């Protein structure tokens, strides 16, 4: 086969670039004719391949240079016939794309203000990403991360059949050093780090994306006794200046070294005590696997595609989203004095001995060859363009097109103007289908008048469920989504979710407390777990930039679990549902009024449950993650507004009931003990 491999820039220290070289060598070893197209090549040139360096002006930002390279690439490819054009960066016209990068539309764009979408940089990245992942594209995708695959499908509806999952990507050249103790002593001597001192590594090109600022702040916040003996060594090819200035500002510059790009990574890993990788975004994070296999414990954020290997190997700590700098500071300090580090190291070495971790290039080239053969045999690569956007999980492929799905009948569960929910069965499994048929211009105008974004269909629920899943909050399991384009007032859409079995709403479960409050020890423990879970869900939701808007007990499903005949938290789960009005923003940017609305909804819906003052204060402390006296003083106005809103909701409900009296609500903002 004659293959064209395209990459914006090659340098020997990047993870993507090393994967590129390994796949290139595997293609060459199989006898394929390989042509490489790049704008720059640093380092040794590979043997047996044709290298085309398409140089152009370096004027302009990265997006300008990338577009300039693509223009030259198009001209070069038009002069030669290839069996497949394989891109290692997103660009139009690819037959296959090696998916080492995270979703720009889902990960990067939401971090900016709305006006960012009008900038040339956004338009470039979005257009090139859409050319690869849109449902109408024929590009096959070699995917390294199931987590990132779900993000692409969330935003582009990319069909399942276009993804080819690849195994983890460890390189034989990065196998752990054999003489660990000897190499450890030698490297530490070179770095002028005493054998008794603690050596942290931060490894990766792209300091901003990989969270070097967070690592420096964590180093600066170590307790004095730890700080004196802890050093941070940064390895990677990037602009060090801004971070050297940050280290100076934080007072840790004397304990920080920048080594630049290095090829002796296994030796460096052997010399370290812990790898810190608090990335803002990371599709995979190959260095996490390399560290685990080398016996170096890891602290990383859960946005890294390979973070699950840390959990599987029990080789470190994974920080859950949304990121909290204080949590990183605490976890780093705890890890450096923990006896668990030796256990993590041994676990990692055992995990890294698995030969399946080193097979990625073989699997990638197998997928390339299969894709070329299918195309040569006349298999269709593109789907016809329609005005509807449809994603279906493979078990629902036979449901039909958009119009057929909208017409699916079943047991009616709920119906409101413009919205209907039915339960239907397929292959002896139950699903819920929620259809939207448009809200009308009157509803849209009314919402805009009150400075609220109107709910135009199932999209909020689709994005909301994905968001909660990535936060680690139990919610709906998505099986399908579809929407039409066109008139927003009459836009039709649907969402399909799996039925959540053996559950009841928290409102229903807790209603028994009115007549029989929890009194036995296991009942009180279970009630406290419920309060803790709701507080943590609310806190993580709001810190992530989201709010629910219908945050009532009826919209939480409890799947109670029993151990030894008693309700037990470890066997139970809480699911957040009814996400059709959920709002998403940048992390940390949930407006206070929406936080108040959510928390007041919880308070209002629990007013008749007999909760004690201590229960309410427990929720406040857990939600605030601060000492109770501090939060009651600092956030006094917040909790007063929560109470006022909850009381208004409760009073309005009581007025709708005949001959009822308003029961005084528990006060949120005054301290007290359990009566």
pLDDT tens, position by position, 118-148:
899 999 999 999 999 998 899 999 999 888 9
Average pLDDT, integer, range 563-573: 95
| Between residues 3 and 18, the one the model is more confident about | 3
CB within 8 A of 135, min separation 6: which ones?
156, 157, 158, 159, 383, 389, 390, 391
Chain center to CA of 418: 32
The pLDDT of residue 659 is: 57
Of 436, 378, 377, 382, nearest to 405 by C-alpha is: 436
CB within 8 A of 308, min separation 6: which ones?
147
The pLDDT of residue 115 is: 86
The pLDDT of residue 216 is: 98
Tokens of 518: 């929890």
CB within 8 A of 298, min separation 6: which ones?
274, 275, 276, 277, 288, 291, 292, 310, 315, 316, 317, 348
The pLDDT of residue 674 is: 33
Q: Name the CATH code of domain 388-498 (choices 1.10.3470, 1.10.150, 3.30.200, 3.40.50).
A: 3.30.200
Average pLDDT across the chain, whole number: 91
Contact 292, 315 (CB under 8 A): yes
| Helix (H/G/I), strand (E/B), else coil: 378 | coil
* Residue 592 pLDDT grade (very low, low, confident, very high; cuts 50, 70, 90): very high
Asked if pLDDT for residue 670 goes beyond 90, the answer is no
Superfamily of domain 2-165: Glycogen Phosphorylase B; (3.40.50.2000)
Among 72-86, 229-243, 375-389, 615-629, the minimum mean pLDDT is found in 375-389
| Helix (H/G/I), strand (E/B), else coil: 98 | strand
Superfamily of domain 504-656: Transferase(Phosphotransferase) domain 1 (1.10.510.10)
Contact 313, 337 (CB under 8 A): no
pLDDT in tens, 481-506: 999 988 888 999 999 999 999 999 99
* Residue 191 pLDDT grade (very low, low, confident, very high; cuts 50, 70, 90): very high
Among 90-94, 166-170, 590-594, the minimum mean pLDDT is found in 166-170
The pTM is what? Answer: 0.81
Asked if pLDDT for residue 667 goes beyond 70, the answer is no
The pLDDT of residue 672 is: 34
Left (φ > 0), alpha (ψ -120 to 50) or beta: where does 451 sit?
Answer: left
Q: How far is CA 671 from CA 297, 523, 524, 617, 645, in A?
A: 43, 24, 20, 7, 20
Asked if pLDDT for residue 515 goes beyond 70, the answer is yes
Q: What is the DSSP string of 227-253?
A: HTTEEEEEESSS--HHHHHHHHHHT-G
Of 314, 318, 321, nearest to 295 by C-alpha is: 314
Phi, psi of 572 (to 5 degrees): -115, 160
Burial of 121: CB neighbours in 10 Å, binned 0-12, 13-18, 19+:
middle
The pLDDT of residue 381 is: 54
Tokens of 519: 């009194």
Tokens of 306: 């390979």
The number of residues making up the chain comes to 675
Contact 505, 558 (CB under 8 A): yes
Contact 485, 387 (CB under 8 A): yes
Tokens of 240: 């060090």
DSSP tag of 123: H
Among 27-41, 476-490, 498-512, 658-672, the minimum mean pLDDT is found in 658-672
Which element (helix H / strand E) includes 675?
none
Residue 33, strand partner residues: 2
CA distance 569 to 529: 6
Asked if pLDDT for residue 173 goes beyond 80, the answer is no
The pLDDT of residue 387 is: 63
Asked if pLDDT for residue 418 goes beyond 70, the answer is yes
* Residue 597 pLDDT grade (very low, low, confident, very high; cuts 50, 70, 90): very high
CB within 8 A of 358, min separation 6: which ones?
170, 171, 172
* Residue 542 pLDDT grade (very low, low, confident, very high; cuts 50, 70, 90): very high
* Residue 669 pLDDT grade (very low, low, confident, very high; cuts 50, 70, 90): very low
DSSP tag of 106: I
Average pLDDT, integer, range 514-538: 96
Q: Do the domains at 2-165 and 172-355 have one common CATH topology?
A: yes
Domain ranges of the chain: 2-165, 172-355, 388-498, 504-656
Cα radius of gyration rounded to whole Å, the chain: 28
Please state, for a pLDDT cut of 90, what percent of the chain lies above it.
75
Average pLDDT, integer, range 257-283: 93
Asked if pLDDT for residue 175 goes beyond 90, the answer is no
Residue 480, strand partner residues: 392, 496
Asked if pLDDT for residue 74 goes beyond 70, the answer is yes
Q: Name the CATH code of domain 172-355 (choices 3.40.50.2000, 3.30.1280.10, 3.40.228.10, 3.10.180.10).
A: 3.40.50.2000
Contact 651, 633 (CB under 8 A): no
């Amino acid at each position: 086969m004659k293959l064209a491999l395209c990459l914006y820039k090659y340098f020997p220290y990047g993870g993507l670039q090393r994967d590129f070289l390994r796949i290139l060598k595997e293609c060459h070893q199989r006898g394929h004719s390989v042509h490489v197209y790049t704008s720059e090549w640093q380092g040794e040139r590979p043997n047996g391949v044709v290298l085309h360096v398409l140089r152009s002006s370096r004027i302009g930002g990265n997006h300008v240079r990338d577009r300039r390279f693509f223009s030259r690439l198009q001209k070069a490819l038009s002069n030669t016939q290839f069996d497949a054009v394989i891109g290692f960066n997103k660009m139009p016209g690819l037959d296959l794309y090696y998916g080492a990068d995270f979703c720009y539309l889902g990960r990067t764009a939401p971090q900016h203000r709305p006006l960012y979408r009008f900038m040339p940089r956004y338009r470039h990245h979005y257009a090139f990403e859409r050319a690869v992942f849109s449902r109408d594209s024929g590009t096959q995708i070699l995917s390294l991360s199931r987590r990132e695959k779900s993000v692409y499908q969330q935003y582009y509806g990319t069909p399942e059949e276009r993804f080819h999952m690849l195994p983890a990507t460890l390189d034989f050249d990065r196998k752990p050093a054999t003489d660990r103790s000897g190499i450890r002593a030698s490297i530490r001597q070179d770095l002028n780090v005493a054998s008794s001192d603690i050596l942290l590594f931060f490894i990766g090109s792209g300091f901003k994306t990989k969270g070097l600022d967070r690592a420096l702040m964590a180093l600066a916040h170590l307790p004095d006794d730890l700080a004196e003996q802890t050093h941070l060594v940064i390895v990677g090819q990037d602009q060090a200046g801004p971070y050297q200035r940050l280290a100076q500002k934080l007072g840790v510059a004397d304990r920080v070294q920048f080594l630049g790009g290095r090829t002796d990574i296994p030796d460096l890993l052997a010399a370290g005590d812990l790898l810190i990788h608090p990335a803002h975004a990371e599709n995979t994070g190959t260095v996490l696997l390399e560290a685990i296999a080398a016996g170096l414990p890891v602290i990383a954020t859960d946005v890294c595609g390979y973070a699950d290997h840390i959990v599987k190997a029990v080789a470190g700590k994974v920080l859950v989203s949304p990121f909290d700098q204080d949590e990183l500071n605490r976890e780093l300090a705890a890890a450096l004095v923990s006896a668990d580090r030796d256990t993590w190291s041994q676990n990692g070495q055992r995990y890294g001995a698995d030969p399946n971790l080193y097979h990625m290039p073989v699997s990638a080239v197998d997928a390339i060859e299969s894709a070329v053969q299918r195309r040569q045999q006349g298999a269709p690569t593109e789907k016809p363009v329609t005005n509807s956007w449809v994603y279906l999980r493979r078990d629902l492929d036979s449901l039909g097109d958009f119009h057929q799905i909208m017409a699916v009948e079943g047991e009616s569960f709920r119906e409101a103007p413009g919205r209907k929910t039915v339960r239907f069965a397929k292959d002896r499994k139950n699903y819920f289908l929620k259809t939207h048929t448009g809200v009308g211009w009157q509803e849209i105008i009314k919402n805009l008048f009150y400075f609220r974004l109107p709910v135009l269909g199932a999209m909020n629920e689709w994005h909301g469920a994905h968001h909660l899943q990535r936060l680690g909050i139990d919610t709906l399991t998505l099986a399908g989504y579809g929407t039409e384009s066109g008139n927003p007032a009459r836009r039709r859409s649907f969402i399909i979710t799996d039925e959540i079995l053996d559950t009841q709403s928290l409102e229903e479960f807790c209603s028994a407390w009115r007549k029989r409050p929890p009194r036995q020890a296991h009942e009180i423990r279970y009630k406290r777990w419920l309060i803790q879970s709701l507080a943590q869900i609310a806190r993580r939701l709001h810190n992530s930039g989201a709010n629910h808007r219908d945050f009532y007990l009826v919209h939480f499903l409890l799947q109670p679990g029993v151990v030894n005949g008693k309700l037990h938290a470890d066997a139970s789960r809480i699911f957040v549902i009814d996400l059709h009005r959920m709002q998403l923003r940048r992390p940390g940017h949930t407006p206070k009024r929406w936080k108040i609305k959510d928390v007041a909804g919880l308070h209002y819906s629990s007013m008749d449950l007999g909760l004690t003052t201590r229960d309410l204060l427990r929720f406040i402390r857990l939600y605030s993650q601060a000492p109770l006296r501090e939060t009651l003083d600092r956030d006094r106005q917040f909790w007063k507004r929560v109470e006022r809103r909850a009381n208004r909701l409760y009073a309005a409900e009581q007025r709708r009931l005949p001959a009822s009296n308003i029961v005084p609500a528990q006060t949120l903002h005054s301290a007290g003990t359990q009566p």
